[in-house]
Amino acid sequence: MRKTLSVDRPDLSYAAYARERLAGMPSPADPEAFALAYHLLHLSYLVVADLESHVHRPRGWTLPGFRLMFKLWLLGPTQPARLAEISAMSRAAVTNAINTLERDGLVERRPLPTDRRAVAAALTPAGEDAVQEAFAEQSRREQQWFATLDADERATLTGLLTRVLAARPEDAD
């Protein structure tokens, strides 16, 4: 029996419809894996778009630029290669983001005391103030997104996502 598509939430209705259609298909169709990936990707897209439009674009930033500044705020001066490693970004993307943030006076490059040829990226005082302000706004927005879940549900979802990320295929990097 075919489910009717909801006019209220066409994105969710489509996902239910696609899952139902996939359930009748032979392997390798996997309706549960599809639904999980679909909803995860869809939620990720919506959250990223929301954070960029409400928090970061008004400041002239992208979410990846904010994420780099946030890491520098927590870690202190950090080499670009390390930032790439922990950000799931290429070194070139990190360098480009640092160049933009440096141009805007939010980040600076500093020689490492142990190796004068190597550099670390660090927040400027203006960058530190800006990231703290943006973090407060982003945190409020994240709380709105996940307010439908209680504390235990948020912890469970975080644990499950962490487990999937830790077990990702070797060639998924």
Q: What pTM, to 2 d.p., does this model score?
A: 0.83
Q: Mean per-residue pLDDT for 132-151?
A: 97
Reported as a pLDDT band with limits 50, 70 and 90, residue 5 is very low
Residue 89 near residue 64 (C-beta atoms within 8 A): yes
**What six digits make up the tokens of 143?**
């709380």
Quick: pLDDT tens for 24-37.
Answer: 998 998 999 999 99
- Give the per-residue pLDDT at 173: 64
Rounded-to-integer distance, Cα 173 and Cα 163, Å: 16
Q: For residue 1, is pLDDT > 80?
A: no
Sequence length of the chain is 173
Quick: pLDDT tens for 117-130.
Answer: 899 999 999 999 99
Rounded-to-integer distance, Cα 116 and Cα 75, Å: 20
| Distances in whole angstroms, Cα of residue 67 to Cα of each of 126, 157, 160 | 16, 21, 22
Block residue for tokens 């778009």:
49
- Give the per-residue pLDDT at 154: 97
Domains, the chain, in order of start with CATH, read 10-168 (1.10.10.10)
**What six digits make up the tokens of 169?**
């295929």
Reported as a pLDDT band with limits 50, 70 and 90, residue 79 is very high
Q: Mean per-residue pLDDT for 108-137?
A: 94
Q: For residue 66, is pLDDT > 50?
A: yes
Nearest to 133 by CA among 55, 67, 49: 55
Lowest mean pLDDT among 19-28, 70-79, 157-166: 19-28
H or E segment and range at residue 110 = strand 107-112
- Give the per-residue pLDDT at 3: 45
